[in-house]
Structure formats: structure tokens, C-alpha cells
Amino acid sequence: MFRLKINPIVYTFNIMINVLCKEGKLKKAKEFIGYMAGLGFKANVVTYNTIIHGYCWRGNLEGPRWLFEVMKAKGIMPDSYTFGSLISLLSWILDCGMCKEGRVEEASVFLEKMEENGLFPTVVTYNALIDGYCNKGNLEKGF
């Protein structure tokens, strides 16, 4: 694109970040945000969601939390997809038996934050929570 003097847009960079995440190159995907900024492009919620989802897909809990805080600090408001990814990750960790006590409650806190921000959970978000509570043995809360 650069050789042909075709100007990229943020969407173009988000596609590149998505490819990096799918290849498991999450560190490089994070670095790409700096590269974008160097070219005068500002990362958006989709940029951060893509990397957060990449970390979640790999079962990494700390990366998404850190990015969640970074995006908020930069004034980029998380959306339903952001919260949904984090809630699904916390429920998945519980389901895989990798979870210590309290992860499903932590997922519920994200649901509360989501609703406080005027965002609406999707059926996928609710399914993750229901699954998490049921796997923990808390059927009442699941219902």
C-alpha cells in the first residue's frame, strides 16, 4: 500500500492486528498500536478489542485486564464486545478447572460495570455467566 501511495486507515491497521493475534503474535500486535501512532493514527475500541480477544483466545488473563485499563486511560470506552470477551474468558477459565475461587464473581463484576456504562450484554455474555455459575455448582445464580 505504501509503495503504491495508497493511504491506510485505522480499519487497515485493525486487520493487520487481527492477523497478528490469530498467529499468536500478541506482543507484536500490541507494538503495532505504537506503530500506528507514529504514523498519526489513533487506535480505537476495535483495535483494543481485537488484541483483548486475542489474549482471551489464548487463555491469557493478565493481558486483557491490562489492555482494558490502558484503553480506559486513553479515553477509549470499552463496549459490549470488550466486556463480553473478558466475561467469557473468566468463565472459560472456570470451566477448564484453571480457575481459583471467585472468577465467576469477577465476571459478574464486569457485567455490572458493563451495565453501569449503559451497555447491553449479548446472549453470548449471559451464556458464559450461566455456564460459569453452573460449573461452579451455583445453579440458583445460574438460573
Taking the whole predicted model, whether its pTM rises above 0.85 is answered as no
Question: Please, which residues have CB within 8 angstroms of residue 114's CB and are 6 or more apart in sequence?
Answer: 78, 80, 83, 87, 121, 125
pLDDT tens, the chain, 143 aa long: 778 888 888 999 999 999 999 999 999 999 989 999 998 999 999 999 999 989 888 878 788 888 989 999 999 999 998 888 888 877 665 544 444 445 777 788 888 888 888 888 888 888 888 888 888 888 898 88
Please enumerate in sequence order all residues whose Cβ is within 8 A of that of 94, keeping only pairs 6 or more positions apart, or say none: 103, 104, 132, 135, 136
